[in-house]
Structure 1
Amino acid sequence: MRQILTFMSALAASAVLAGGLSSSALAAPQVADLLIRAANVIDVKTGQVTPGQTVVVRGDDIVAVTADAEAAQTYAAARTYDAAGRYVMPGLWDNHVHFGGAGLEDENADLFPLYVANGVVAVRDAAGDLAQTVLDWRATPPRPIGPRLFTSGPKIEGIAPVWKGVIEVGDEADVDAALDRLQGLKVDFVKITDSTLKPELFLYAVRQAKARGMKTSGHIPMGITVLEAAEAGLSTIEHLSYLMKAGSRDEAAISADYLAGRYTYAEAMAQYAATFDPDTARRVYRRLAELGVMASPTQHGSSTLAWLDRDDHSHDQELAYIGPGIRGTYGWRVERAAAATPEQVEARHRVEATTLRTLPLLREAGVRVLAGTDAGFLNAFNYPGFSLHDELALYVANGLTPREALEASVINGPALMGVSDRYGAVASGRAADLIVLDANPLTDIAATRRINAVVRDGRLLDRAELDGLLADIRARVQAHEAAK
């Protein structure tokens, strides 16, 4: 009997082949939720583009990326989106943002869909004065559509700092208690800043956090060098100005003069820029690369402030998407910039130009750049969602390739957060967080703005739906303005 069944199976298989049909063609199609057809799929890591692909999504997962012809035979889905030769890549990550402003929770919540409407599928919150609210949002997002959220929770600071909503520490026991609290909150990383924090406590906090397996970032006190902070175990250096400072051949001496009251902060920055030395920078940056320290430039925001004398941003279209309360927090930086003398403005320009020189040197040394904007409350005209495109364009204008700029966002962000197995590639098993672009960003970084669709957590939002999100945000801003 077994021989007869084997013979009949072989005969059936022969009949299928003789009829020109494959066994897969006769099988019932596999069910998916979304098919993105006729796509050019971008591999950001290698810079390769594969045309004629279908991306198969089930739930919040990519379950396959395969040739269109094969997908047509194998899969059926409730929704099919014809990419029509457009470009599909991982959704963007903004790896340095801020939510904050006590009483402005609703306006901050409106930033969630604003990020997604701009192709940003994940953000890394680097502390503000709404720490517990943001932690709650990480578990339960405040709007139906928003990016994945990573947060530091409340940052560690010294006693009586300028910042609100922080954990104040005055000795090592306080630092230990702060880290205990942050571990209890299950923060994604530890933010440490230098308003009033003693330099020795900054280093202690970094070392202790590293010993606990916690990632760290921060503003480095003037009393220590950037390299000292990195040697202690700092994971990321936030703001490119610190990398410029690290490239000064007189970094320690200038910092000592600042601490002694011989320079204002702006004057110290001007001195770092005047003594910036590429050879010194290369030496320090090579060591940073060896230590695995990432650098988050947040340079668009700095450039905006540096050139406020030439553009006051009063006519920015993006203002229509920012609530009046958050716009009101811009004032302190704008007023400070406006009060500068012509000599101070010129010094500001020189510092900015020197700071931008660090980008190709960081690449040459092998330091991984982490795309982030500093967007959010307090940071004037630095618009959530929109500004990441400006940040990426700035990287390319100052020495990085478009592929490297994209890598800084969509590959290095997941790597820092330890989720590279889920993000950073359009591939089976990865998260269905994608953007569909009208043009190739590998040849023109400005193409990241030409968003035709966004897939967030498996849900596709086409251009009409994205425009609807933006219209709703504008309406909410107008309602906030009317209620003032």
Structure 2
Amino acid sequence: MKTSLFSAFLLTFILLNACTSKNQSEQLLLTGLHVIDIETGDIAENHSILIEGNTIKDIFEDGSKNTEGARSVSMKGKFAIPGLWDMHIHLRGGQDLIGSNKKMLPLYIANGVTTVRDAGGDLTSTIFGWRSEIKTDSLTGPYIYTSGPKIDGPDPTWEGSIEVQSSEDITQALDSLQSIGVDYVKIYESTLSGEAYLEIIRQAEERGLTVTGHMPMSIFIDDAITAGLDGIEHLYYVLKGTSDREGEITSKVYNGQLGFWDAVAELNDSYNEDTARVFYQTLADENVYVVPTLHIDDVLSFLHEEDHSGDEYLQYIPDDIRQTYQRRVRSAQRRDADAIQFEKELNDLFKKVTRDMQQAGVKLLAGSDAGAYNSYVYPGISLHRELAAFVKSGITPLQALQASSYNGAHFFGDYSRVGSIDAGKKADLVILNSNPLSDIRNTVNIHAVIANGELLTSESLNELPQTQD
């Protein structure tokens, strides 16, 4: 979207949200829609969606049922998809950045992202407060699933992480996370031992907790899957399962002969098609979800040469969040030619791995990694760019959309309640001007958003120039 279009949409959204209070007994009827079945890709043309409160009450062919008393809004010729899910973001930065994180929440809704998965940070109690406010429409933002603080080893990279070493530490950490009601457990590996990592997974599995994370390069990925790992964040760790030298590389890391990036380089060099094929089948059979985060890899790989000062979305990012971007920028500027070439080769392999996993039946999750410190990966719009990166890798538009709401809802075991356009489910929808199944870039061509049953649109939007991102 151009700045004028996005600015008007965001402003319209904020004004409507400020001036409208939802009547839980009021019925809203959206007519003339082409409703996309997110599971099959079938399109029900000229259909109506009846919404009551925050729930989809019924879906039927236009005019086929009596809807007297409902507030009717024509959506003739528009395409309805489930509200989008960003399955990897970060709400973080400590007390100083609470206000700025909160200010960015509307950017998700303005871009049709009605649900997000917070993948670990240091604002847990605040996030639970926001979630309650969003649920009652007193705060503008997406529904937030959260892991709470990450679990890591002693003296971890990220503030707010829970530090563990022993089995007893891990038990206490999981007790704490369960007591505050997190939606899943997120493991980080900046200082965590391989033994502790596997113990976290085993204990989480015994408690019935969903657990995802990064992974120490000092363990075998099959051991993590056997222990009960439910999801893998980013593709660096997936490469372990595609290498015909995983044993050798893992041993070198364990013995201190290789660091993380040297290990990734050797995994990249030892990628083996046959080994990868067998591993992908294991991921599919064991129902392990994978979050590729392709878009952020593309952004960070070119920080040394791309000037983002003119980005249209930068104007919506608070100054203190912008300042956190500089850490990665400075790091990128120190890269030499070999490092730059390696990152480009790695990104190409990541796209191939993503496509091949999809073809093998691995469940993918679309996540942008937007948040403080992740330079120029903007809340909301970056999910659309992730979907576009999926398609560019060789995945169909339908499969890309499924990696958002459909797979996201299944990941959390909530598909009976959310994740598709079906009667009885939560009314989170995006109304598009064009068919996203014919071109995934049409997901940015937004006509309206229905978030928690609230219609966010304006007649003036129809008069604005329509454009692709």
Q: TM-score, normalised by structure 2?
A: 0.89
Q: Pick from 114, 117, 136 the counterpart of residue 129 of structure 2.
A: 136
- Which residue of structure 2 lines up, in the alignment, with residue 76 of structure 1? 69
- Which residue of structure 2 lines up, in the alignment, with residue 455 of structure 1? 450
- Which residue of structure 2 lines up, in the alignment, with residue 207 of structure 1? 202
Q: Pick from 297, 301, 310 the counterpart of residue 315 of structure 1.
A: 310
Per-residue deviation, 1:264: 4.1
CA contact (8 A) 1:92 1:120 kept: yes
1:150-176 superposed Cα distances (whole Å, 9 cap, x missing partner): 000111111111211011112000100
* Counterpart residue type for residue 58 of structure 2: A
User: Which moved further from structure 2: 141-150 or 256-265?
Assistant: 256-265
Q: CA RMSD in A?
A: 1.7
1:94-144 superposed Cα distances (whole Å, 9 cap, x missing partner): 011000112111110012111000000000000112222223322334962
Are residues 263 and 379 of structure 1, via their aligned partners in 2, closer, same or farther at CA, if it must alter by over 3 Å?
same
User: Which moved further from structure 2: 227-236 or 404-413?
Assistant: 227-236
Q: How does 1:112-261 map to 2 (within 5 A)?
A: 112-141=105-134, 144-261=139-256
- Which residue of structure 2 lines up, in the alignment, with residue 39 of structure 1? 33
* Counterpart residue type for residue 271 of structure 1: E
1:341-395 superposed Cα distances (whole Å, 9 cap, x missing partner): 1111111111111121101210122110011111111111111101000000000
SS at match of 1:241: coil
Among all aligned residue pairs of Structure 1 and Structure 2, give the percentage whose two residues are the same amino acid: 40
CA contact (8 A) 2:32 2:76 kept: yes
Q: Does 1:357 align with 2:349?
A: no
Per-residue deviation, 1:256: 3.0
Are residues 201 and 258 of structure 1, via their aligned partners in 2, closer, same or farther at CA, if it must alter by over 3 Å?
closer
Q: Does 1:421 align with 2:416?
A: yes
Number of aligned residue pairs: give it.
435
1:404-456 superposed Cα distances (whole Å, 9 cap, x missing partner): 00000010001111110111221211110000000000110001000100001
Q: Does 1:369 align with 2:364?
A: yes
- Which residue of structure 2 lines up, in the alignment, with residue 65 of structure 1? 59
Q: Pick from 276, 280, 283 the counterpart of residue 275 of structure 2.
A: 280
CA contact (8 A) 2:417 2:426 kept: yes
SS at match of 1:176: helix
CA contact (8 A) 2:231 2:290 kept: yes
Per-residue deviation, 1:40: 0.5
Per-residue deviation, 1:70: 1.4
CA contact (8 A) 2:303 2:332 kept: yes
* Counterpart residue type for residue 84 of structure 2: L
Counterparts of 1:95 and 1:354 in 2: how far apart (Å)? 22
User: Which moved further from structure 2: 113-122 or 332-341?
Assistant: 332-341
Per-residue deviation, 1:86: 0.5
SS at match of 1:122: strand
CA contact (8 A) 1:112 1:143 kept: no
* Counterpart residue type for residue 140 of structure 2: I
- Which residue of structure 2 lines up, in the alignment, with residue 95 of structure 1? 87
User: Which moved further from structure 2: 427-436 or 242-251?
Assistant: 242-251
SS at match of 1:375: coil
User: Which segments of 5 or more consecutive residues in structure 2 lack a partner in the other structure?
Assistant: 1-24, 463-469
CA contact (8 A) 1:273 1:355 kept: no
Are residues 207 and 230 of structure 1, via their aligned partners in 2, closer, same or farther at CA, if it must alter by over 3 Å?
same
Counterparts of 1:301 and 1:380 in 2: how far apart (Å)? 8
- Which residue of structure 2 lines up, in the alignment, with residue 393 of structure 1? 388
In terms of Rg, which structure is larger?
1
* Counterpart residue type for residue 237 of structure 2: Y
User: Which segments of 5 or more consecutive residues in structure 1 lack a partner in the other structure?
Assistant: 1-30, 468-484
